[in-house]
Chains A and B, each alone.
Chain A
Amino acid sequence: MKLHEYQAKALFREFGIPAPQGELADTVEAAVNSAEHLGWPAALKAQVLRGGRGKAGLVKIVQTPEEACTAAQAIFASDWKVRKILVEQAIAHERELYVSFSADSRTGAHLLLASAEGGVEIEDLARTAPEKILKEHIDSIRGILPYQARTAAYDLGFAPSLAKGFASIIEKLYRLYVQKDCELAEINPLFVTLEGNFIAADAKISIDDNALFRHPEFEQDPADFDSDIAREAAAEGIPYLQFDGDISLMCAGAGLTTAVYDLVVDFGGTVANYLEFGGPNYRKSVRAMKLCIKNNPKVILIVTFGTIARADIMAEGIVEAIRCLRPDCPIVTCIRGTGEDKARETLLSAGLEPLTDTEEAVKKAVELAHIARSTATERPTPAAASKQGGQP
């Protein structure tokens, strides 16, 4: 779960990492008032979770109320669906630094990255000038030791007066990263002010979803989802991604669904949504299909090869879903795994054609989507579609 900058900065303050004074504004007027209140020059920063907002012109430094008004209008009018602007005092500074903690999956350690150059994409810097990035593995069981933070500061070339402050920022950020179960805790850029103090100009924090049970203080903002359907899916605990193509994927198993996505694109089809109802969700056929139908897909493609997710139960659920929801698009089924013989009978008795080969099923779905596109006026009913599917 990614946090917005203003949320991340609130955490910074909680852990003793200085961040600029700021106020949250949800209208142009409020943004101008906040800037007026905080003092000029001010920084107006769109609160969005996608990266690249700087390049998109969604972060502006403004000197006057007129400039603030123009900038805020532009930010709210952009196609990024910005709902909130963080208004801050613009900070005069003489240096920009980078510091972050993330996981190193290969060793099982935490990884401290620091650089005396901030404000850049660390991946770009890693490619063009890897020698400028300091990497230090932090034992995930022992935790960080003060000498590691100190050494990092001296290795980056800080004078003793600054090194102490920088080491302190590192240790505080580590504490936040561990205590809040972060996937990533990043300050980029970290400013060194003209007075030689450190202040976090930006903040990027991502909380591990699997650890949210330990952190009731974090709640996903409903507005942060890609679509209403994605939000409903999340509420159901059903993995879902929103796309805008023709074929609704209703598959079981993360790996298999991803492979089916690849095949759809390979065979010239487009995907309306990625939906995975395997694992603990395999009894949720009706709810899964309900979500798919909301996309008005040309075809619903159901591919499973489950172990725990029993084929017979899923087949029954699908037949039940069709009975309840009466989708007006064809449904292609390829259901295998535990209980597959019974699943086959269930599908056959409901007039569906139980395919057994994934590629064949995907081809069929792509073909039906094309037919539906070309004859957009007469949509086949599920029963008609399955008869159609029965032809060799």
Chain B
Amino acid sequence: MSILVDQSTRTIVMGATGSEGTFWTEHMVNLGTHIIAAVTPGKEGEHVGDIPVYHSVHRALDASALGSRSAAGAPADTYAPADAAMLFVPPHFTKDAVFECLDAGIKLIVIVADGIPLHDALQIRAASRTEGALVVGGNTSGIISPGKAMLGMFPYWIERVYKPGRIGVMTRSGSLTNEVTAMVVRAGFGVSTLVGVGGDPVPGTRFAEILARFQEDSETDAVVMIGELGGTMEEEAAEMIASGAFSKPLIAFIGGRHAPKDKRMGHAGAIISGGKGSALDKMRALEEAGALTAERASQVGILLAETLKSRGQAVTSAKSARSPLSADSAPGASTRGSHNE
């Protein structure tokens, strides 16, 4: 397993006909992503590789339904469901594309666009909550379950970064994620799923919502969180740990420990405002909740190895593991997650 995406995730791609969209769509297919259709207004009838292009999401799903009806005799007025939409759409058109997907009932939407207007992002966040959908991004590299599927843009061919495994990764950054994930792999681990929530001030999906998925995933033993100054997402993750809603080991790396106040360093979301949201405050909150924090990327792998080793021993000696997952963990897995405090 993994969270959010695997080989069975039926995906449509919006904006696949642009040069970047085409490049990454081919890579997504190459990795194993199940792409059923592409959508670019005005380009219906064209193809991206073997993928047919439609004018709209509605028409793409309708056509997919026709295809599956002829095979399975499905009712005439139903769409073939799409599980996910990958958006290679410019920031100014992103809100429109997201609402088109939400209106078609798609529950997982990934936005890579950098530069979505704030008020658009607020409406996207609000609508996704109402619809019970996860909108991941913007300003993210997307989601990858190494060896299975990818909704986004990752150099998955670099094996020292994107090796399959049992560590969940969630991040606000792109390039820093390559850096930190390389350390996870260097320490002998691999990644179950990596989710980039993005560097914007109003991400469509927050760390806490991803953490809840990792908690339920039997093939994720621990989570690495790559946060940074600004906002409250890391504090919300700390709250989840403190309340017991997340009980696997969490290693946090928070960028911007020395960032100047009231200056936006890096991502739009990375700003300390009103004396709140400094990297050190976040690290303190996480440590108090029981998470481990790394000051440097190189420490992430080391902390991971130490904690999984000690927790692994704890599992064998504990009288009752609270984990609902220990029963169905793969036999012989060397790095089993433990859920006892």
Give the interface of A toward B (CB within 8 A): 51, 103-110, 121-123, 126, 139-141, 178, 181, 183, 208-211, 213-214, 239, 241, 252-259, 261-263, 265-266, 274, 276, 278-279, 304-309, 336-338, 340, 358-359
Contacts and interface: CB of A to CB of B under 8 A. Distances in A.
Tell me what chain B mostly uses at the interface: helix, strand, loop, or mixed. Answer: loop
Given A254-B267, A307-B175, 13 more contacts: A106-B206, A108-B121, A108-B125, A108-B127, A123-B275, A208-B117, A210-B115, A254-B175, A256-B175, A259-B176, A262-B255, A265-B257, A358-B179
Given A106-B232, A307-B155, A358-B179, A258 B174 contact: no
B212 interface: no
B129 interface: yes
A334 to B, nearest CB: 10
B295 interface: yes
B176 A262 contact: no
Interface of B: 20, 91-92, 114-129, 141, 153-155, 158, 171-179, 182, 199, 201-203, 206, 226, 228-229, 231-232, 236, 255-260, 262-263, 265-270, 274-276, 279, 295-298
Contact of B297 (A211, A257, A259): A259
Contact of B178 (A107, A139, A336): A336
Contact of B125 (A107, A122, A254, A337): A107
Contacts of A105: 122, 125, 201-203, 231-232, 269
Contact of A108 (B92, B129, B172, B269): B129
Contacts of A239: 266
15 contacts: A105-B201, A108-B122, A123-B274, A178-B119, A181-B119, A208-B117, A253-B175, A254-B266, A255-B177, A258-B228, A259-B176, A262-B295, A305-B179, A340-B158, A358-B179
B119 A359 contact: no
Contacts of A208: 117-119
A208 B121 CA distance: 11
Interface SS, A side = mixed
Contacts of B91: 210
Contact of A255 (B117, B126, B155, B176): B176
B270 A359 contact: no
A183 B121 CA distance: 12
A276 to B, nearest CB: 7
A254 B270 contact: yes
Contacts of A139: 126
